[in-house]
């Protein structure tokens, strides 16, 4: 953008704050970080995936147990778990033939908890 275009969009309330605005602009998340975050929010915006995250916040479970709790097929749950795994929201451990799923880390639990707190607050 040339200087003339930038001046055209100047806001009078920020006059004299160009350095502060430049610092904010420089500290924006990089595009790849924004895309990853956007994909995480898209994933947890799906009601089924959110339910999976919720039940996994209560207990580590296998696919058949999650399917039973959510009254869905195991293949449907497996499909959703793959999406959550790809985004590193859930992880799994194999115990023989059994695969046990859990939340990937405390950050996923915090996302859920903060969202639930916000819903209760409203």
CA atoms of 27 and 73, how far apart (whole Å): 45
Nearest in space to 43 (alpha carbons), one of 115, 119, 118, 117: 115
The residue that leads in pLDDT, 9 or 114, is 114
Average pLDDT, the chain: 88
**Which structural domains are found in the chain, ordered by start?**
11-121 (1.10.10.10)
- pTM comes to 0.78
36-83 pLDDT, tens per residue?
889 999 999 999 999 999 999 999 999 999 999 999 999 999 999 999
What's the pLDDT at 29? Answer: 78
The number of helices, as runs of H, and strands, as runs of E, in the chain is 7, 3
């Amino acid at each position: 953008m040339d200087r003339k275009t930038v001046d055209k969009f100047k806001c009078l309330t920020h006059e004299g704050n160009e350095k502060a605005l430049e610092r904010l602009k420089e500290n924006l998340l990089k595009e790849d970080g924004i895309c990853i975050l956007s994909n995480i929010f898209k994933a947890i915006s799906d009601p089924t995936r959110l339910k999976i995250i919720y039940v996994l916040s209560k207990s580590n479970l296998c696919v058949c147990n999650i399917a039973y709790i959510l009254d869905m097929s195991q293949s449907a749950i497996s499909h959703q778990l793959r999406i959550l795994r790809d985004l590193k929201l859930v992880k799994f451990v194999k115990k023989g033939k059994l695969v046990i799923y859990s939340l990937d880390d405390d950050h996923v639990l915090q996302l859920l908890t903060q969202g639930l707190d916000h819903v209760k607050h409203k």
